[in-house]
Structure 1
Amino acid sequence: MVANATSNATSGGATKDYNYDSWMALLSQLPLLLFTLLNSFLYQWVKERIRVAFSLIFIFLLFSLTAALVEVNMQPDTFFSVTMATVWFINMFGAVLQSGLFGVVGLFPPRYSTLFMSGQGLAGIFAAIAMLCSILMFAVTLSVFPVITVRVQTVYKDNKAWKQVFTCVCCFIVFNTMDLVGRSAPSLVQWPSKESRLFPVAVLSRLVFIPLLMLCNVENPRLTVLFTHDCAFVTIMALFSFSNGYLASLCMAYAPQLVRYKDCETAGSLMTFFLVLGLAVGASFSFLLGKLVTA
């Protein structure tokens, strides 16, 4: 499907810039944000079994539709519109599913939240491995997520095999692997504590990764490249993803402990909303950051 759109877009002589990665990030997070908030108010009237079951059914149907459209030739504009609409609705039902599950997990001891977060990280690894396999039997285009890291290129440009899988291995697999490690770590060590002032400081300190990633070996850079070697990029990605998984798990584990038992489900749902709010804000800034890093 992507190949069809690419070939049609270039057949006229000029390639139209759809800003695909930024739009996909934004349209993934907006429905998550809106419907996570809606679910925080409506969960008392709709049982979690119904929410989870219907969400899973509709997500399955939408993925089936996406798979079927691979065989359909489309004009680039049509392909872009259909893809973005599918992304919106999948994440809409995903928000309801995720909020319901987090709300239920909030009723259990904190270690269950850590295990639930670890499961999400493990799913990301499976997706990255599947992507790597498709690159080796099909050479698919990797330009959808995330905005900056997919634009980082290897210094070993003469090695065609490594150049082809560099983004998948050093961006997606490294991110999902270390994110899984970070999500699992709170089951062993929980630091800082929920009462510590260092906890919000640790969360805010992750802002340093934005300039660090922007100064990596990006293709056609606007900024001065400080981290040229592949090892530097992998190290930054590993720290970035580990801190993401670790701090997110701590937030989800600490929230139900700060309220009364009867409010645990509400706390879990609201934490999911604020988690998605952060993702939506980040997706909105991706348009600006994408313009800043490449000429």
Structure 2
Amino acid sequence: MLGQKNPPVDRGQATAIIVFILGLGALLPWNFFVTASLYFKERLAVNVAVNMTLNMVVNGTHAGHTKDYNFDSWMAFLSMLPLLLFTLLNSFLYQWVRERVRVAFSMVAILLLFSLTAALVRVQMEPDTFFSITMATIWFINTFSAVLQGSLFGMVGLLPSRYSTLFMSGQGLAGIFAAVAMLISVLSNADGINAALGYFITPCVAMVAILACYTLLPHLEFARFYLNRDETDKQPIEKMPIKSRDKTVLKNSEDPKDPEAPVLQDYKLPEKHTHNQPRLSVFAVFKKIWVMAACITCIFGVTLAVFPVITVKVQTSYRGYTRWDKVFTCVCCFIMFNSMDLVGRSVPSLVQWPRKESRLFPVVVVSRVLFIPLLMMCNIPDSKLGTIFSHDFAFVVIMALFAFSNGYFASLCMAYAPQLVRSRDCETAGALMTFFLALGLSLGASISFLFGYLV
């Protein structure tokens, strides 16, 4: 009965590296557009000023008020709405469209949209036209990003749980890339056009490399063993702790002292006739993972409620140092957040606390709401709430804990959810978790308008 081979070794950690890179690619579009906000607003302002000057010269009209496109609000709305809608649709889309088609098509589409954005850097056009094209690009790039994230989360859910942590870590690295790009642009002496062109060419090159990595993944023996679940389910193997695996598997395994021996700690024998059972419905899967779904919504809801709408308003207490004042927000807000978020996403590969069955887990997640008043009482000029934490060090410590907890608990949620269902339902669980992640982002972005008004 147990004549199947043992799981192969991830030689050279090739699968782990590719999963990490795919995580980076999943959040690359969002991060690069968010950090380019200043470029888009400056370009719209320049184009409006030029048009108003031309009207004065040609038509003899006088300059009125500069048109306010409310770029940040529209960008947030047109980013979160498609992300929310298409992560939900992706829960059903996977049943009709193969995962490889969804992922490859989404990556190519994102690459083309980034290329369009880079090409438009040197194209002069009416501000209304530029605004419309940019908003359409943001809508579509987040649409494909939603499909890409849901598909990749479902695929990674088929691998051992540590690969979900690696995937989340890769997403954290995408934020660091964007933050470092922002810092370079702030300190660079290059003109705005060349800086913007180089900025948008970077994700184009990155998406080509990420697509190449995804194409390579099915050719790796370790990845192929776990991803071909429809075939391997016929050979009764699934995930479970090592203490419960069958003695016959131990007898047929390699020497456990051999560092190259297969790791069987995520391996188990399934229930009888599991491979003959149909996949559960989306609602049935949700009933099994609803606690993790609620937690991931809360985590990102709290985070987006104050980041970046509140955190970017915090100013340094060392106002006399011009250079530090210039990079304070970039370093202490964006780079600090993304760096500690990445650390938080990586720690679950070493320590996982609380456990998924623990009632303490949702309690700790909800307690993150305390970061909202803490950040709102940092050094924000003319704040209606007053300032309690005026020193830069206090803000840095709060931001570090805020970001670390975001990455850590989000990574745990995404790793725990697939463990609560059968292997054949992991893709559905991953797609649902991505939807609730997007729901948290949308709720947080909506609430941020209220907190922004309060300060």
Displacement of 1:73: 3.5
The whole-number CA distance in structure 1 between the counterparts of 2:81 and 2:379 is 30
The whole-number CA distance in structure 1 between the counterparts of 2:332 and 2:67 is 28
Equivalent residue number for residue 34 of structure 1: 85
Displacement of 1:78: 4.0
**1:129-140 counterparts in 2 under 5 A?**
129-137=180-188
**TM-score normalised by length of structure 2:** 0.60
Q: Note closer, same or farther for the CA distance 1:74–1:206 as it changes in structure 2 (3 Å cut).
A: farther
Tell me the SS of whatever aligns to 1:173. Answer: helix
Tell me the SS of whatever aligns to 2:352. Answer: coil
RMSD (Å), alpha carbons: 2.1
Displacement of 1:4: 2.4
**1:247-266 counterparts in 2 under 5 A?**
247-266=409-428
Equivalent residue number for residue 395 of structure 2: 233
Question: 21-30 or 60-69, which moves further after superposition?
Answer: 21-30
Equivalent residue number for residue 118 of structure 2: 67
Question: 261-270 or 9-18, which moves further after superposition?
Answer: 9-18
Tell me the SS of whatever aligns to 1:114. Answer: helix
The whole-number CA distance in structure 2 between the counterparts of 1:282 and 1:80 is 25
- Give the counterpart of 1:81 among 128, 132, 144: 132
The whole-number CA distance in structure 1 between the counterparts of 2:392 and 2:127 is 34
**TM-score normalised by length of structure 1:** 0.91
The whole-number CA distance in structure 2 between the counterparts of 1:254 and 1:165 is 38
1:207 to 2:207 alignment: no
Tell me the SS of whatever aligns to 1:267. Answer: helix
CA deviation profile, 1:225-279 (whole Å, cap 9, x unmatched): 2221111111111111100000000001110111122111111111111111111
CA deviation profile, 1:109-166 (whole Å, cap 9, x unmatched): 111100111111112111111111011015989xxx7211112111222211111111
The whole-number CA distance in structure 2 between the counterparts of 1:183 and 1:116 is 9
The whole-number CA distance in structure 1 between the counterparts of 2:310 and 2:160 is 37
Question: 147-156 or 73-82, which moves further after superposition?
Answer: 73-82
The whole-number CA distance in structure 2 between the counterparts of 1:107 and 1:271 is 14
Q: Note closer, same or farther for the CA distance 1:218–1:23 as it changes in structure 2 (3 Å cut).
A: farther
The whole-number CA distance in structure 2 between the counterparts of 1:9 and 1:150 is 26
Tell me the SS of whatever aligns to 1:61. Answer: helix
- Give the counterpart of 1:23 among 69, 74, 79: 74
Structure 1 alignment gaps of length 5 or more: none
Displacement of 1:44: 1.4
Tell me the SS of whatever aligns to 1:102. Answer: helix
The whole-number CA distance in structure 1 between the counterparts of 2:138 and 2:110 is 10
**1:213-228 counterparts in 2 under 5 A?**
213-228=375-390
Size of the aligned set, in residue pairs, is 290
Aligned residue type for 1:122: L
Q: Note closer, same or farther for the CA distance 1:124–1:139 as it changes in structure 2 (3 Å cut).
A: farther
Aligned residue type for 2:108: I
Question: 216-225 or 73-82, which moves further after superposition?
Answer: 73-82
Equivalent residue number for residue 315 of structure 2: 153
- Give the counterpart of 1:174 among 330, 336, 342: 336
Question: 109-118 or 212-221, which moves further after superposition?
Answer: 212-221
Structure 2 alignment gaps of length 5 or more: 1-38, 53-62, 197-306
Question: 219-228 or 189-198, which moves further after superposition?
Answer: 219-228
Equivalent residue number for residue 171 of structure 2: 120
Q: Note closer, same or farther for the CA distance 1:235–1:13 as it changes in structure 2 (3 Å cut).
A: farther
CA deviation profile, 1:210-233 (whole Å, cap 9, x unmatched): 111112222442321222111111
The whole-number CA distance in structure 2 between the counterparts of 1:119 and 1:130 is 17
The whole-number CA distance in structure 1 between the counterparts of 2:385 and 2:151 is 43
Displacement of 1:26: 2.8
The whole-number CA distance in structure 2 between the counterparts of 1:230 and 1:284 is 28
Displacement of 1:80: 3.5
CA deviation profile, 1:61-87 (whole Å, cap 9, x unmatched): 111111122223455544443332222
Aligned residue type for 2:402: F
The whole-number CA distance in structure 2 between the counterparts of 1:280 and 1:25 is 9
Q: Note closer, same or farther for the CA distance 1:242–1:98 as it changes in structure 2 (3 Å cut).
A: same
Aligned residue type for 1:23: W
The whole-number CA distance in structure 1 between the counterparts of 2:384 and 2:47 is 29
Question: 82-91 or 181-190, which moves further after superposition?
Answer: 82-91
Tell me the SS of whatever aligns to 1:218. Answer: coil
Percent identity over paired residues: 72
- Equivalent pair of 1:128/1:168 in contact (CA under 8 Å): yes
- Give the counterpart of 2:146 among 68, 82, 95: 95
Aligned residue type for 2:44: A
